[in-house]
Structure 1
C-alpha cells in the first residue's frame, strides 16, 4: 500500500477521500489549517465508520503559506489536493478566492515535485469546464474549458479555472517526472459527516428548513461525494489517468425544484417545509439586491449545462450512484445529525 497526502482533510470531500484510502489500507496524511481541527476530523471519521483510524497523521499547512508543505509531502507516493478556498457569498475582491486557489495549488505541486511524489490528483470543478459559453445542447466534456469573459463566471468559478490552468502549465513546464490527473465534479451531494459541508449541501438544508417560499430557476449536475472520492482513488493509481481530466457527474442536470420533488417523494413528513414553487427570475434579481447570498445565483438563472462522465466510466470503470440516491443520502444525514429544523 502507498503513503498518500490528502490536503484539506476537514472538508466535505477530503473526509470521504480519507475514509476510502484508510479502508483500502493506505497510510494517510492530511493537512488542516489549524491544529485544533484535528478533533473535528476524527469526529467525522468516527461518524463515517472509522472509529480508531490507524495510519492517519496530521500536518498543519495553509494554502497561503509555504510552511509545513514540504514536511507533509516528504515520503509520500501520491498527493490528492482537495483543499480549496470556498465562500457562500460573492467576495468584494475576487482575488480573495483566486490567489489562494491558484498559488496554493502551485505550492502543493512544487512541494510534491521536490519530494519525488509520483502523481498529484487535483480536485477541480465542472466550473472550470462549462461556464462562459452560450447555450448549447451538446454536453460539455473534458476537452472544454470555461471562458473567463462570460457573464456567468463568478469568482469561485474563476478561481477553479485559473488554479487548474496553472497546474497543467506547471507540470508541462517544470514538473519534471511529476504526473497530474484532475477530477472535475458537478454539484457534490451525499452523506454529511459533520457541520463542515459544501454549498451544494446547503441547498438541501435550505429546502428542508423551508428557508425560501419558492426556489430560483437554477440547474446543475449532481454527484455523490462517495463517488467523487472513489474517482480520486482511481485517478491516483490507474496508468490511463496520467495527464487526464475526468468529469464527475452522475446523470442528467437537475433543477432545485427537481431536488425538492425528490425530497417530498422519498421523505414524506420530513420534507413538509420543502417549497413547491419556482420563483420568477425577476423576483430573484430583485431579492438579490437585499440578500447577498442570492447575488451568486442571478448569473445562473435559467442556464442549463449538460455534461458527460463517459470518459471516467469507460477509462476508469467508474460507476456512480444515481442523482436521487445522492440527494436522499444528503437529506437523511442532515436529519440524523440534527442539522435541519424539526
Structure 2
C-alpha cells in the first residue's frame, strides 16, 4: 500500500485520518512539533482502536520553520496536510495565526513537490468559503470564497482562507507534477480520543457541563470527524479529486439550543445541565465584555450559513452521518472519557 504523511499528528482530525489509513493498510508517518508528544498520539490511536499504532513513524517539524519537512515527506506517495495553528484566545495581531497557516502550508507543499509526492490533500475549512458575505439562504458551495475584508471575518477565518488561496497559487505557479485537493469541513464533531479536546468539541462539552444558563443564538453546520477522515482518503486516491475543493457537511445548520435538545432527548440525567432556553443577543454581547471566548462568537449571532456537500457525494461517493448521530457520538465519548465537569 501507499506511504502517507499526516501533518499535525496530535490533532483531532489528523488522529482520525491516521486511524483510517492504518485500517486500510497504508504505511503512516506523522509530524509533531515536539517528539515528546509521541506517547500522547499513540494513546489516541489506541483509544480509536488501531491494531498496531506503534507502526506509525514520527518526525519533528514545525509550521514556522523549514527544518524537518524534507525528511518527513521523503519517500511518501501522499501527504494529508492537516496541521494548522489555532489559538485559545483572539490574538491582537492576526498574523499570529495567518503567518504560520500560510507559510506552513507552503513549506509542506514545497517539501511534497521536492520529494516527488503524487498528491497533497489540504485540510482547509468552511472558514475559507462562507464568511465575509451578506446573509443568504442559498447554500455555499465550492465555488465560493470567503471575503477576507468582511466585517465578520476573525483572524482564524482569515488564516484559513489565505492559506488555501496560497496553496492553489503555489500549485498553479510552481507545483510542477504535484496534485492538490482541498477538504473544507464545517464544525467538526465526533468521538474524542483523549483529554486534549479539540476546540470544536468544547461546544458540546460546554452544553453538557452547563457552563452558560442559556444557549447563545449561534448556528453550526456539522460533520463527523470520521466522515472528514473518510473524505480525506477518498480525495487522496480518487482521480476525480485532482484540483478540486470539497465541502464536508452533513446537513442543515443547527443552533446551540437545537443541539442541546438532541442531548436532552437522548442522554437523560447526563444532560441535566444542558440549557433549556436561548440567550438573548444583548446578554451575549454583555457577557463578551468579560468572557473572552464569547468575543469571537459575536459576529455569528443569529447568522445561519448553509453549505452543500453534494459535490463530495456525487464525485467521490461520500455518505456522511446525520446530525443527531454526530452530536450523540461526541457527547458519549466526552462522558466516557470523563471530560465533562460542571
| Shorter-chain TM-score tier | over 0.9
CA–CA distance in 1 between the matches of 2:84 and 2:324?
A: 27
Question: Is 2:269 aligned against 1:278?
Answer: no
CA–CA distance in 1 between the matches of 2:302 and 2:150?
A: 15
CA-CA distance at 1:19 after TM superposition? 0.2
Partner of 1:246: 246
CA-CA distance at 1:51 after TM superposition? 4.4
Question: Is 2:159 aligned against 1:159?
Answer: yes
3-state secondary structure, aligned to 1:96: helix
Task: Please list the CA deviations of residues 88-116 of structure 1 after superposition, one character each: whole Å capped at 9, or x if unmatched.
Answer: 32111110000000000000000001001
Partner of 2:289: 289
Unaligned stretches of 5+ in structure 1? none
CA-CA distance at 1:53 after TM superposition? 2.0
Partner of 2:138: 138
Contact persistence 1:11–1:197 (CA under 8 A): no
Partner of 1:49: 49
3-state secondary structure, aligned to 1:266: helix
Give me the TM-score of the superposition, normalised by structure 2.
0.99
CA-CA distance at 1:78 after TM superposition? 0.2
CA-CA distance at 1:149 after TM superposition? 1.3
Partner of 2:319: 319
CA–CA distance in 1 between the matches of 2:54 and 2:291?
A: 45
Question: Is 2:329 aligned against 1:334?
Answer: no
Query: Which range moves more in the overlay, 137-146 or 283-292?
Result: 283-292
Question: Number of aligned pairs?
Answer: 342
3-state secondary structure, aligned to 1:58: strand
Give me the TM-score of the superposition, normalised by structure 1.
0.99
Partner of 1:170: 170
CA–CA distance in 1 between the matches of 2:304 and 2:207?
A: 21
Unaligned stretches of 5+ in structure 2? none
CA-CA distance at 1:54 after TM superposition? 5.0
CA–CA distance in 2 between the matches of 1:91 and 1:326?
A: 30
Contact persistence 2:42–2:54 (CA under 8 A): no
Partner of 1:262: 262
Partner of 1:20: 20
Contact persistence 2:262–2:324 (CA under 8 A): yes
Partner of 1:191: 191
Contact persistence 1:113–1:176 (CA under 8 A): yes
CA-CA distance at 1:198 after TM superposition? 2.1
Match runs of 1:89-108 below 5 Å:
89-108=89-108
Task: Please list the CA deviations of residues 193-233 of structure 1 after superposition, one character each: whole Å capped at 9, or x if unmatched.
Answer: 00223222001000111111011110111000000000000
